Amino acid sequence: MRASNYLFSTLRDAPTDAVVASHQLMVRAGMIRQLSKGLYTWLPTGLKVLRKVENIVREEMERAGSLEVIMPGVQPAELWQETGRWQKYGAELLRLQDRHGRDYCLGPTHEEVITDLARNELTSYKQLPMNFFQIQTKFRDEVRPRFGVMRAREFCMKDAYSFHVGEESLQETYDIMHQAYCNVFDRIGLDYRPVLADTGSIGGAYSHEFHVLAESGEDDIAFSDTSDFAANVELAEAVCLKSKADAPTQELAEVLTPDCKTIQQVAEFLKLDVTKTVKTMLVKGLDDNEQATIVALVLRGDHNINELKVEKINGIVSPFEFADEADIINKIGCAPGSIGPKDLKEKGIQVIADRSAAIMSDFCAGANKDDYHFTGLNWERDCPDFETADLRNVVEGDPSPDGKGTIVIKRGIEVGHIFQLGQQYAEALKATVLDENGKAKVMHMGCYGIGVSRIVAAAIEQNFDDKGILWPANITPFDVVIVAMNYDKSEAVRDECDRLYTELKAKGLDVLLDDRKERPGVKFADCELIGIPHRLVVGDKGLANGTLEYKNRTQGENEDVAIEDAVDFIVAKK
């Protein structure tokens, strides 16, 4: 590409609403322009990157045996009514009517459409497994579009859907997709983690998110510092290396803790480390006879409750809801700030201690009496009637649940999600095939998404400096820029630039020849902002010595390269 025929549209300043680096840099580098809230035009530089990402995704999906299709973006309401999502899906689903007043939506996802296709086209177990993908513009009417293309309303997504006669086949394809996703993100050159996203829900749904690690990420990812383990913080199991509390060394004592409303205030007042205290939360639950009751959840003072985990304890606390203060005072005789586990069972309140709380000894807890706490409390000796469960969010330093290493928590940007859907959609839409015995079987399904446009932004979040973007080699808009000094005036420069341009292109490289009548500083700044990895400067002075000036975008110094070696030199770098 000759710069004189190209649209740069680089900007010195980012728009004021751009708060993350990728949004700022994509606008400044002339990659995108906002048309309307959450709607972006991809300019040539941006689209070149997007296409490279798209091609890598396509190649890996094809290699994994998925067949490309393309489904309509506008979907009839009837299918969504069949699965019940027309009612359930919130305002993110953009509903519209055609000229005849018929209801449609702009597809945010395509489970309904693909399952409708599958029920019509797949009739026999012999055709399975079958895996379809498409790379398509999706629309989600985000309530608060933000971060540029990271959370836009219209975006490019790869979505895939697989169909199976049974769970085993689904697991096989799921594993193949897991590997294909790793291949995609490896080839793009991202620092990412496949993250366990859900394991526990009934029906065996199973899912992984793929997160690019970056400070601007919206999700907290817990992962092991030594193994492959990674999970959403909310879903990571909090394990405890100790299985039993130490023997008591202190006597139980009731102490006055006036005006201490929080566990931090209690710890400070008593000059205790907060890890030597527990907090007790009372929530609404059901007893063995399914009657409304109160359940006490006990956590170490510095830990945070995980509502998702609580809701999974045999369903006794679901949905998660705090007990009413009046009920508490009525049943226990004190306000919530002074609750503790001792003697609650006698008051008809079940006690569930988090694993990390259950192995504490000589600890401090509320005395179930306003303005009083116990110190030297010990489970077995003082309140033996309790159960243990995983109730809290993991924190950095926790042991990794796979037994290898320690938990580290980082922020992640979700760029992929693979999911074992099971039979939910196939059942709703009656998508069956005949099995070996000629019996109709509801198909099992998996679905697999990649946020193609989001990857572009995520790659920038991981790779930039104060001058601009630092593209990973496989998704750079241009592999190399030839900066011409006085292209219009010097024939020697012109000839050498044209030769280099032609020869580098012939080697399959994406080459930008900056033949503009601009100052060198402007040209250098533009290609640094855009993030082109390799730069060759062609000027009369160098040519007189038989050299060109090379600079790598990430490494420091300029380097002279002999004219005759330049093409091979660049090809070797790529």
Residues that bind a copy of itself (CB under 8 A): 5-7, 9, 33, 35-36, 39-44, 47, 50, 65, 67-76, 91-92, 94, 96-99, 104, 106, 113, 116-117, 120-121, 127, 130, 132, 136-137, 139, 141, 143, 153-154
Shortest separation between residue 183's beta carbon and a copy of itself, angstroms: 19
Shortest separation between residue 299's beta carbon and a copy of itself, angstroms: 38
Q: How far apart are CA 278 and CA 280, in angstroms?
A: 7
Q: Which is nearer to a copy of itself, 38 or 366 (CB)?
A: 38
The DSSP call for residue 101 is: -
CA dihedral 558, 560, 565, 570 (to 10 degrees): 10
Shortest separation between residue 524's beta carbon and a copy of itself, angstroms: 20
Give the start-end residues of each E strand in 165-245: 192-198, 206-213, 219-224, 230-232
Shortest separation between residue 64's beta carbon and a copy of itself, angstroms: 11
Q: How far apart are CA 496 and CA 510, in angstroms?
A: 18
Q: How far apart are CA 139 and CA 94, in angstroms?
A: 8
| 232: its two tokens | 């959403």
The DSSP call for residue 443 is: P
Shortest separation between residue 90's beta carbon and a copy of itself, angstroms: 9
The DSSP call for residue 66 is: P
Shortest separation between residue 9's beta carbon and a copy of itself, angstroms: 5
Shortest separation between residue 34's beta carbon and a copy of itself, angstroms: 10
Shortest separation between residue 137's beta carbon and a copy of itself, angstroms: 6
Shortest separation between residue 544's beta carbon and a copy of itself, angstroms: 30
Q: Which residue has the tokens 């000059």?
A: 271
Q: Which is nearer to a copy of itself, 27 or 566 (CB)?
A: 27
Q: How far apart are CA 229 and CA 211, in angstroms?
A: 13
- Element (H or E) spanning 179, and its range? helix 167-188
* Among 357, 347, 280, 352, residue whose Cα is nearest residue 312: 352
Q: Which is nearer to a copy of itself, 41 or 304 (CB)?
A: 41
Q: Which is nearer to a copy of itself, 78 or 215 (CB)?
A: 78
Quick count: other Cβ atoms within 10 Å of Cβ 42?
19
How does strand 350-354 pair with strand 534-538?
unpaired
Three state DSSP letters for 231-257 = EECCCCCCCCCCCCCCCCCCCCEEEEC
Q: How far apart are CA 75 and CA 280, in angstroms?
A: 50
Q: How far apart are CA 24 and CA 17, in angstroms?
A: 9
Q: Which is nearer to a copy of itself, 373 or 516 (CB)?
A: 516
Q: How far apart are CA 122 and CA 128, in angstroms?
A: 8
Q: Which is nearer to a copy of itself, 70 or 256 (CB)?
A: 70
Phi-psi region of 292 (alpha: psi -120 to 50; beta: other; left: phi over 0): beta
Contact call for residues 493 and 485 (beta carbons, < 8 A) = yes
Q: Which is nearer to a copy of itself, 132 or 471 (CB)?
A: 132
Q: Which is nearer to a copy of itself, 18 or 299 (CB)?
A: 18
Q: Which is nearer to a copy of itself, 136 or 338 (CB)?
A: 136
Contact call for residues 232 and 222 (beta carbons, < 8 A) = yes
Phi and psi of 169, rounded to 5°?
A: -65, -40
Q: Which is nearer to a copy of itself, 146 or 411 (CB)?
A: 146
Shortest separation between residue 187's beta carbon and a copy of itself, angstroms: 21
Shortest separation between residue 476's beta carbon and a copy of itself, angstroms: 17
Quick count: other Cβ atoms within 10 Å of Cβ 139?
20
Q: How far apart are CA 103 and CA 108, in angstroms?
A: 15
Shortest separation between residue 110's beta carbon and a copy of itself, angstroms: 9
- Element (H or E) spanning 411, and its range? strand 407-422
Q: Which is nearer to a copy of itself, 129 or 366 (CB)?
A: 129
Q: Which is nearer to a copy of itself, 94 or 571 (CB)?
A: 94
Contact call for residues 408 and 223 (beta carbons, < 8 A) = yes
Shortest separation between residue 217's beta carbon and a copy of itself, angstroms: 25
Length, in residues, of the chain: 574
Q: How far apart are CA 549 and CA 196, in angstroms?
A: 48
Q: Which is nearer to a copy of itself, 115 or 368 (CB)?
A: 115
